[in-house]
Amino acid sequence: MLQGFCSVVSAMSELLYKSTRGKNEPVTASQAILQGLAKDGGLFVPEKLPQLDGSIASYAGQDYREVAYRVMKQFLTDFTEEELRDCIAKAYDDKFDVKELVPIVKVGGAYHLELFHGATIAFKDMALSILPHFMVTALKKNHVDREIVILTATSGDTGKAALAGFADVPGTRIIVFYPKDGVSRIQELQMVTQKGDNTAVVGIRGNFDDAQTGVKELFADADLEKTMAEAGLQFSSANSINIGRLVPQVVYYVYAYAKLLGQGVVKTGEPVNVVVPTGNFGNILAAFYAKNMGVPIGKLICASNENKVLFDFFETGIYDRNRAFKLTTSPSMDILVSSNLERMIYRIAGDDADRCAALMNALRTAGKYEIDEEMRAGLSDFVGGYATEEETAARIREIYEKEGYIMDTHTAVASRVYAKYVEKTGDKTTTVLASTASPYKFLTAVLGAIGKLPEEIADDEFAKVDQLHAVSGVKIPKAVEELRTAPVLHRRVCDGDKMKAEVLDILKLS
């Protein structure tokens, strides 16, 4: 009786989240955020993608925070207006070094959406500055009295952004695993100097996929879950597998379109293409969600570096991770298992959880899977592209010399892929390009690309900072300035298969 009543109410007002592998009961948004990953190993997806709450034109000229509220409330329906606005106000404040939060700059023919003006100068801040507030709110709403332990694998940028977001947040602790030799020096320094009594950082001898696989195994470890529960602890995830990461990323695609509309760059309804430098498929999936909400987006151009597993997938319908993992100058995209693609697979399988689970199982056991023609048709909005290391460096140099604009290596991958796409197709549609990191995060590669890295400063990270400032005139971000004097606080290193022991030790459970 009561249950029937509840489901009628929820059908009218509440958006629930179900697992891509189908074994879980649907949960509310706040529960999905707290859990991170579904118990059956799947990812949470909304039962139905919501629509914009008004015409896209009604967003033109609106402040980022207002756009954020209007988009987020469509997804996070069990948060009250007050709760959402409070999370937004705490997240999008003067941690950002520009007032508009996300400036749009025309570079190389595309509108760069500069998503790197937050506390840790990568686009991950857009979601990770709000996720901790979502979690604290969700803990209260669900009367959870356990402490949340955020377990995160990072290819470089998520780790710091998550640490900064969760440091000293009551009711939470955070443990970050990063590939010891797979991140830039600035990225590593940012993480190992993180303050906060509730933070831990561990370098692993392995690559990002090892770290991500290890973290997923820890989430699925029933013994560990029991030990944790007895100690009043519960895991959650700050990776983009958490729906609380994805939703804030939808916001800036709505904002970008509305801004271009307000500026008269596009007319109402005129489509824009979007180019996204892609690793775990989170950022571009957010663009796809924005399109499905009603933002006039045409093509979604998925840009990979030399780890071009996604490019091959779009070309052939075969996802095959059995290949050499390459360390590139765009380390945050050095990924062979793009976790968020599972949400897309589920969708193009017609929301068939069994089929999705079977494909993901094939990926786990054989390292590959193939989708059929019908599923491939569901990917028609996507175009895959990739840039080699040489092409990426050449693009940084070309744009620097022609336009005096300096971009980071990840953004450069996207910029190069965009140029190749236009050359090949002649498609002149207005294009938004997700600019994902500050060039100050990838000094060696960026200075090398423009031929301004003299031998004598090759080993001096902060001389490189000054050099980049001298040659670009771009203000040194506070996030980098602070590192000059910050003491190293984290020195843990472990093997890829010893992550559990490390977690037990950090949580004092061993």
Ligand X SMILES: *Cc1c(COP(=O)(O)O)cnc(C)c1O
Residue ranges binding ligand X (CB under 6 A): 122-124, 157, 240, 277-283, 332-333, 410, 436-437
Q: Minimal distance in Å, beta carbon 243 to ligand X?
A: 14
Do residues 245 and 43 touch, judged by C-beta distance below 8 A?
A: no
The nearer residue to ligand X, 299 or 410, going by C-beta atoms, is 410
* Pairing mode, strands 44-46 and 17-19: antiparallel
Q: How far is CA 313 from CA 382, 384, 385, 394, 413, in A?
A: 11, 8, 11, 26, 18
Q: Report, in Å, the least distance between residue 421 CB and ligand X.
A: 18
Measured from the CB atom, is 113 or 139 closer to ligand X?
A: 113
* Distance of closest approach, residue 307 Cβ to ligand X, in angstroms: 11
- Residue 333 Cβ vs ligand X, minimum distance, rounded to whole Å: 5
Contact 155, 334 (CB under 8 A): yes
Cβ count near 88 (within 10 Å)? 21
Which CB atom, from 83 or from 408, has the smaller least distance to ligand X?
408
- The vertex-228 CA angle with 222 and 233, nearest 5°, equals 130
Q: How far is the CB of 216 from ligand X (least distance, A)?
A: 15
Is the CB of 59 or the CB of 311 nearer to ligand X? Answer: 311
Question: What DSSP assignment string belongs to 301-359?
Answer: EEEE-S--HHHHHHHHSEEE--S-----S-GGG--SS-TTHHHHHHHHTTS-HHHHHHH
CB of 345 to ligand X, least distance (A): 15
The CB density around residue 3, as the number of other CB atoms within 10 Å, is 7
**Min dist. Cβ of residue 158 to ligand X (A):** 6
CB of 266 to ligand X, least distance (A): 25
Instruction: Locate all alpha helices (DSSP H) within 101-242, ordered by sequence.
Output: 124-128, 131-141, 157-166, 185-192, 208-220, 222-230
The single residue listed with the structure tokens 């404040």 is 93
**Contacts of residue 416, Cβ cutoff 8 Å, sequence gap at least 6:** 303, 387, 391, 392, 394, 395
Tell me how far apart the alpha carbons of residues 412 and 418 are, in angstroms, rounded to a whole number: 10
Kind and range of the H or E element at 257?
Answer: helix 243-262
Among residues 273 and 340, whose Cβ is nearest to ligand X?
A: 340
Whichever of 59 and 177 has its CB closer to ligand X, that residue is 177
Q: How many CB atoms lie within 10 A of CB 483?
A: 17
Nearer to ligand X, 41 or 331 (CB): 331
Select 129 or 234, whichever has its Cβ closest to ligand X.
Answer: 129
Nearer Cβ to ligand X, position 266 or 341? Answer: 341
Q: How far is the CB of 282 from ligand X (least distance, A)?
A: 3
| Dist. CA 411–CA 305, nearest whole Å | 11
